[in-house]
Amino acid sequence: MVSYGETELKPSVTLRFTLSIGAMVLVGGVIFFYFCMEHEFPSTSGAATAREIRPAASTRLNADALPPSVAARVSAWEKMIAANFAGDDACVQCHPSESQAHQRSGHSHTAIKMADSALAKQLIELGTYADPLRSQTFQFEMNEGQFTVQDVSPGAQSIKVPVTWLLGSGTHAQTPVTVDLQTQRGIELRWSFLAGQNGLGVTPDQTRYQQFRNRSVECFGRPMDSADIRSCIGCHATVSAPPELPFLDALVVENVGCERCHGPRKKHVDLAHRGQAELAKPLISLDDPDVYMNICSGCHRDESSVAADALPHELARFQPYGLKRSACYLKSGQSMTCSTCHDPHDTVSHDRAFYVSKCQSCHSETTQRSCPQPLRGDCIECHMPKTQWTAGIAFHDHWIRLPDDDSRSPKKTASDAVDR
């Protein structure tokens, strides 16, 4: 067992944050650079660092209580977003099939205000949740539109913690996050909805944290600093504020929408209404495989953002990392991308025959191949096996390789694979 205080922030967290911000800059193109060049930001490094639990109070940071200079920059950011981003609804008229597919995908509901979520309603009906690994019971309430959680265990501090966001599509899990706008810190809460259990369970990767400091945020889950918050929200949203601005809920464009991958398209939409859509050239060239993979890797991660000590069962959930190490990808001249097998707009298909046909489009009887098994076999089961991560969550390993490849050893880390 370990405590939260005994663990250090892994390099992957900082790298992931940098990468997600980089992806947003890529998506925004010159618009983000223009904004940053035109507005000089004050430092926000002086935010309070105390981690003692505080009650919800009217002193919380909000757009109406900002210093005038910061408020002016927040306003400028909001105007930039309004002037350049059209929103998903604006895409429906001209791209109905893609829009319908996107609504079926997990991307369309990856960041929801907790109070507005279906899970919040279910938890209010449930009332309480007993942590199976710690002697704690959490109680859920909704007051004046604010969802709160309280540790009602004997001897616990009588504090109701407001829950801000619910992150994740729910395909595997949904994890609640608290963001304290005053301190610019937060909590990844101890409990999550786990699809495999169809109910609450310990948040993935928090099962190892069974010890915690009383009267601290650790009672409720994993403490998050500002970089953690921006990283998590940044990957689950279309746009969130840059580090130079304070994190405010109002500055988050919820969910992974069309413009997360295609860039801001307000000009394109305006021209389309005049029959001149082609005049607004794409800001991002998705025909370029490197650009395409970088966008996916911005959240799903590749070799630049995984922890060096990550083990194979952990690496399996980072699909770009695995794909970019695969012979299929390397021998394709790196022209292979995620969309070679997946519809980027739709939910993930579970049609195994479709994926096998994709394999056989290259590995056929008429092409040179090394697989000794009959082509009737299940390529996925052998070369991309489902790998258990944690909390009953499993992912197909996208490092396409032989079943007996030494890199599959449970003790092999990401750093071991660097020289392969």
- Per residue in 219-236, pLDDT (tens digit) is 999 999 999 999 999 999
Judge whether residue 344 has pLDDT over 70: yes
Domain hosting residue 331, numbered range: 307-417
Q: What is the pLDDT of residue 403?
A: 84
104 and 191, same domain (yes or no): yes
Q: In this structure, which long-range contacts are made by residues 295-300, counting pairs with CB atoms below 8 Å and at least 24 apart in sequence?
A: 295/23, 295/26, 295/27, 295/261, 296/320, 296/337, 296/338, 297/19, 297/23, 297/321, 298/19, 298/20, 298/22, 298/23, 298/24, 298/26, 298/235, 299/20, 299/23, 299/235, 299/256
CA distances from 106 to 109, 256, 318, 340, 344 (A): 6, 9, 16, 19, 11
- Please indicate, yes or no, if residue 300 is contained in any of the structural domains: no
CA distances from 412 to 372, 406, 408 (A): 26, 8, 7
pTM of the model: 0.83
44 and 104, same domain (yes or no): yes
Last residue of a domain, one of 259, 282, 299: 259
Last residue of a domain, one of 230, 259, 288: 259
CA distances from 291 to 71, 283, 284, 287, 380 (A): 34, 11, 8, 8, 26
Q: What is the pLDDT of residue 37?
A: 38
Mean pLDDT of the chain: 84
Judge whether residue 124 has pLDDT over 90: yes
Judge whether residue 184 has pLDDT over 50: yes
* Domain count within the chain: 2
Q: What is the pLDDT of residue 363?
A: 82
Q: What is the pLDDT of residue 145?
A: 95
Q: What is the pLDDT of residue 367?
A: 62
Last residue of a domain, one of 259, 289, 324: 259
Judge whether residue 197 has pLDDT over 60: yes
23 and 120, same domain (yes or no): yes
411: burial class by Cβ within 10 Å (0-12, 13-18, 19+)? exposed
Label residue 56 by pLDDT band (50, 70, 90): very low
- Please indicate, yes or no, if residue 122 is contained in any of the structural domains: yes
Average pLDDT score over residue span 288-297? 95
Of the ranges 118-127, 211-220, 244-253, which one carries the lowest mean pLDDT score? 211-220
- Please indicate, yes or no, if residue 293 is contained in any of the structural domains: no
229 and 316, same domain (yes or no): no
- Please indicate, yes or no, if residue 288 is contained in any of the structural domains: no
Q: What is the pLDDT of residue 364?
A: 74
314 and 255, same domain (yes or no): no
Average pLDDT score over residue span 132-156? 95
147 and 233, same domain (yes or no): yes
Judge whether residue 420 has pLDDT over 70: no
pLDDT digits 0-9 by tens, 362-419: 887 666 555 566 666 689 999 999 999 998 899 999 999 988 877 777 767 776 765 4
